[in-house]
């Protein structure tokens, strides 16, 4: 009787083992939500591997998502990774003599995008404990924060690139401008003495006097030198803008694009000089008008 029971038990275990061995082994996925400090255990059978998948590309040179990985038992747990991918594979080779593999351990320390992962690697001969893929995911809040950090990073990079290009452009412009100034100095200037003045009363014994001294022509450029005399008692004359107009018969006055160089104000009982430069052919106009916009009003002079 006892022998019969033992025989039946052995037969049952054999059938169960055969059924287990016949059951198909399919890839299994383990989803893990990334936290700033994340730990997990991954068991890998011999001649198998586990792929670790991240929500961003793994790149040691990336300033925003820097990636490092340390494997404390690379003799048993081998790793493979291709550049530009968001994953890597940890695998365990089959025993050289065949049969089962003893239990080995190792630690996998990963740092990426501010997340610190500690993975305990274990060998196992039980395929049911094996996950073919470990998929790391971000929470909704972490996704939004990551996107916001990426946008800010790209914004700072664009601003830095723009500032560098602007500085380079300014340097090129300055170099060309200096070269042009040198050429203009070599060629000399054609001077036209204007000597036109106008006195405008603005109050009792107070006035503003405009004086256009001369025009200096350097090729296609014309510089007009002028003076402003502030004949007020104790009030500074604040210069808000200076404009040059071209005058032709039977046509409205035309604004001439120009650049102005002069102090921002003229102190009481004093005078200052300024120069207005334009690349427009001022000789094409019958007359010119200089308009001075100040905190005391608008003053002009024609010649």
pLDDT by position in tens, the chain (length 303): 555 555 554 455 454 444 444 445 788 999 999 999 999 999 999 999 999 999 988 987 777 678 999 999 999 999 999 988 999 999 999 988 877 889 999 999 999 988 999 999 999 999 999 999 999 999 888 888 777 777 787 788 888 888 888 888 777 766 776 666 565 656 667 888 999 999 999 888 889 999 999 998 887 889 999 999 999 888 899 999 999 999 998 889 999 999 999 999 999 999 999 999 998 888 889 999 999 999 989 999 999
Quick check: is 147 in a domain?
no
d(CA 100, CA 91): 16
Let me know if residue 6 belongs to a domain.
no
Pairwise CA distance, residues 223 & 280, whole Å: 11
The reply to whether 129 and 199 lie within a common domain is: no
Q: Are 81 and 73 in contact (CB under 8 A)?
A: no
Cβ count within 10 A of residue 99: 8
Of all helices (H) and strands (E), which one includes residue 270? strand 270-278
200 domain residue, yes or no = yes
Same domain flag for 112 and 202:
no
In a domain, 146, yes or no: no
Helix (H, G, I), strand (E, B) or coil at 252: coil
Q: Are residues 197 and 257 in the same domain?
A: yes
Q: How far is CA 169 from the centre of its chain?
A: 18
In a domain, 215, yes or no: yes
Looking up tokens 């035309």 gives: 254
CA dihedral 190, 196, 200, 206 (to 10 degrees): 90
The rounded distance, in Å, linking the Cα atoms of 117 and 286 is 81
**pLDDT score at 178:** 63
**Residue 213: which H helix or E strand, with range?**
strand 206-218
Give the CATH number, domain containing residue 59.
Answer: 2.60.40.3010
Question: Does a structural domain hold residue 273?
Answer: yes
Please tell me whether residues 203 and 122 are part of one structural domain.
Answer: no
Residue 83 belongs to a domain:
yes
Q: Does some domain include residue 148?
A: no
Residue-wise pLDDT for 8-35, tens only, equals 544 554 544 444 444 457 889 999 999 9
Helix and strand numbers (H, E) in the chain are 2, 19
Domain check: are 197 and 94 in the same one?
A: no
Q: Residue 214 sits in a domain of what CATH number?
A: 2.60.40.10
Give yes or no: residues 293 and 230 share one domain: yes
Q: How many domains does the chain have?
A: 2
Q: Which domain holds residue 250?
A: 190-302
Domain-terminating residue out of 98, 121, 138? 138
The residue from 94, 110, 138 where one domain ends is: 138
Looking at the structure, tell me whether residues 30 and 122 fall in a common domain: yes
């Amino acid at each position: 009787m006892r022998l019969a029971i033992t025989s039946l038990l052995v037969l049952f275990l054999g059938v169960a083992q055969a059924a287990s061995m016949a059951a198909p082994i399919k890839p299994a996925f383990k989803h893990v939500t990334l936290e700033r400090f994340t730990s997990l255990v991954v068991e890998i059978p011999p001649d198998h591997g586990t792929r670790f998948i991240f929500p961003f590309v793994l790149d040691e040179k990336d300033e925003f998502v820097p990636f490092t990985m340390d494997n404390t038992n690379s003799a048993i747990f081998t790793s493979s990774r291709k550049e530009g991918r968001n994953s890597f594979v940890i695998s365990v080779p089959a025993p050289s003599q065949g049969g089962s593999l003893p239990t080995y351990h190792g630690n996998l320390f990963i740092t990426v995008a501010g997340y610190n992962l500690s993975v305990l690697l274990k060998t196992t001969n039980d395929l049911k404990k094996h996950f073919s893929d470990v998929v790391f995911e971000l929470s909704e809040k972490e996704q939004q924060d990551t996107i916001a950090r990426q946008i800010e990073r790209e914004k700072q990079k664009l601003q830095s690139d723009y500032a560098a290009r602007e500085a380079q452009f300014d340097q090129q412009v300055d170099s060309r401008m200096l070269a042009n100034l040198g050429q203009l100095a070599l060629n000399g200037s054609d001077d036209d003495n204007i000597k036109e003045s106008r006195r405008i009363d603005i109050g009792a014994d107070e006035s503003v006097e405009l004086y256009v001294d001369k025009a200096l022509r350097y090729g296609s450029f014309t510089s007009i030198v002028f003076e402003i005399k502030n004949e007020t008692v104790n009030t500074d004359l604040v210069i808000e803008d200076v404009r040059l107009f071209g005058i032709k018969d039977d046509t409205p006055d035309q604004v001439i694009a120009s650049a102005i160089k002069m102090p921002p104000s003229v102190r009481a009982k004093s005078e200052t000089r300024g120069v207005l430069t334009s690349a427009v052919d001022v000789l094409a106009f019958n007359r010119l008008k200089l308009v001075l916009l100040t905190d005391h009003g608008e003053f002009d002079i024609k010649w």
